[in-house]
Amino acid sequence: MSSPASVDALLQALQAVGYFADRRLATAVFLALKLQRPLLLEGEPGVGKTALAKALSEVLSRSLIRLQCYDGLEQREALYEWNYAAQLLHMRAAEMLPPALGAGVSSVPPAGDGAPASPGPAALAALGRPGGGAVPPTAGAVRDIEAEVYQDRYLIRRPLLQALQAPAPGAVLLIDEVDRADEPFEAFLLEYLGEYQVSIPEIGTVRATATPVTLLTSNRTRDLHDAVKRRCLYHWLDYPDRERELAIVRAQVPGASAALAQQVAEFVGRLRSQPFANAFQRAPGIAESVEWAKALVALDTIVVDPEVVSDTAGILFKQREDVAALTADMAAQLLQPAAQEG
């Protein structure tokens, strides 16, 4: 489908695919679509940054292309690289063939995606079989061979190039956890973020066939360079309020009763609030809330009590210290308001 015509339409479309955004987030996404600008989403892990890209790809009926960032990520892993093995085979075959045969090497279609064509009997003979011989190539032939190995069929496209060359209506490109990459990689991204194009020395400038919807996510493990931020719209994605989290749990875990979903949303919401939040290294995200609700349904839990909380703490927390910090007494305190309201 085309881009939603309004923020309200976008909110409804996202909800239809199971993503419950607040109005501020929907406004940021809507403006990114209308202005054709990248959107930088920062926030704690587990608040729905990556899930938003998946939901948008469904709403817009575009393919999702994901670039997962990590320390040491190189340009060739993000943009493109050449199929060096196929290029070397092509060059060796072309150089060893007699002129009459060598001239036709490039016209033979590749055997597969990026794979070189298999040489014929005469080429095999020229490559060392009995009776084969090699004719030194001329300077012009060498130039021709060098040009042939930089053809499109030897190009291995990585996520950025895939997004730029995606056919209409285009793709949704998720550059996930960009804060894990190093600063040189941020500098490399600037041309793409600012102009939706990249430069490949052997080919030239590649511009977007259809402007990709681009989302960058960051867990704020370090500050990104201002040059990256200036080229993007920005939104800080926080934990959802209780009502929105309840709606998410109900949508993602239809097997949970209304009372159980309410308890999950209230319990996790209190875990993230003061004074309890200070006891943990990292509060549970939306993904943990949903997973915990699924676990409670699997255990046939009707009412959450401190014992159940203690038994399933490893779903809410992923650090040993956090699991240990969630004591039975604390669980009872966290459950008390829900019990009183119920």
Closest CA to 160 of 50, 57, 26, 38: 38
What the block records as the tokens of 95 is: 């150089």
Q: Which residues contact 186 (CB under 8 A, 6 or more apart)?
A: 178, 224, 225, 227, 228
- Check residue 342 and give its pLDDT: 45
Torsion angle of C-alpha atoms 21, 292, 330, 221, degrees rounded to 10: -60
- Check residue 139 and give its pLDDT: 57
Q: Which residues contact 298 (CB under 8 A, 6 or more apart)?
A: none
Closest CA to 11 of 2, 175, 28: 28
Cis geometry, peptide bond prior to residue 121 (ω within 30 degrees of 0): no
**Annotated domain spans of the chain:** 7-79+161-236, 81-155, 242-341
What the block records as the tokens of 251 is: 């949508």
List, in sequence order, every beta strand (DSSP E) within the chain.
Answer: 39-42, 63-68, 80-82, 155-157, 171-176, 197-200, 204-207, 213-218, 233-236
Beta bridge partner(s), residue 235: 41
- Check residue 141 and give its pLDDT: 58
- Check residue 154 and give its pLDDT: 77
State pLDDT tens for residues 77-134: 999 888 777 767 776 777 676 654 444 444 444 444 444 444 444 444 444 444 444 5
Question: What is the pTM (predicted TM-score) of this model?
Answer: 0.79
Question: What type of residue sits at position 285?
Answer: G
3-class SS string, 108-122: CCCCECCECCCCCHH
Helix pair 242-252, 258-271: axis angle to 10 deg: 130
Contacts 24+ apart (CB under 8 A), 195-202: 196/36, 196/164, 197/164, 198/79, 198/160, 198/161, 198/164, 200/79, 200/80, 202/82, 202/150
Q: Are strands 80-82 and 155-157 parallel, antiparallel or unpaired?
A: antiparallel
Integer Cα distance of 309 and 122 in angstroms: 74
Count other C-beta atoms under 10 Å from residue 186's C-beta: 17
Could you read off the pLDDT tens digit of each residue along the chain, which spans 342 residues? 678 999 999 999 999 999 999 999 999 999 999 999 999 999 999 899 999 999 999 999 999 999 999 999 988 899 988 877 776 777 677 767 665 444 444 444 444 444 444 444 444 444 444 444 455 556 565 566 666 766 777 788 899 999 999 999 999 999 999 999 999 999 999 999 999 999 888 788 999 999 999 999 999 999 999 999 999 999 999 999 999 999 999 999 999 999 999 999 999 999 998 888 889 988 899 999 999 999 999 999 999 999 999 999 999 998 999 999 999 899 999 988 654 444
- What is the spatial order of strands in the sheet that 233-236 belongs to? 63-68, 171-176, 213-218, 39-42, 233-236
- Check residue 93 and give its pLDDT: 75
Distance of CA 330 to the CA centre of its chain: 37
Integer Cα distance of 10 and 15 in angstroms: 9
Helix pair 49-60, 23-35: axis angle to 10 deg: 60
Map residue 322 onto helix, strand or coil: helix
Report the mean per-residue pLDDT for the chain.
85
Residues 7-79+161-236: name the CATH superfamily.
P-loop containing nucleotide triphosphate hydrolases (3.40.50.300)
Integer Cα distance of 216 and 179 in angstroms: 9
Closest CA to 163 of 150, 175, 151: 175
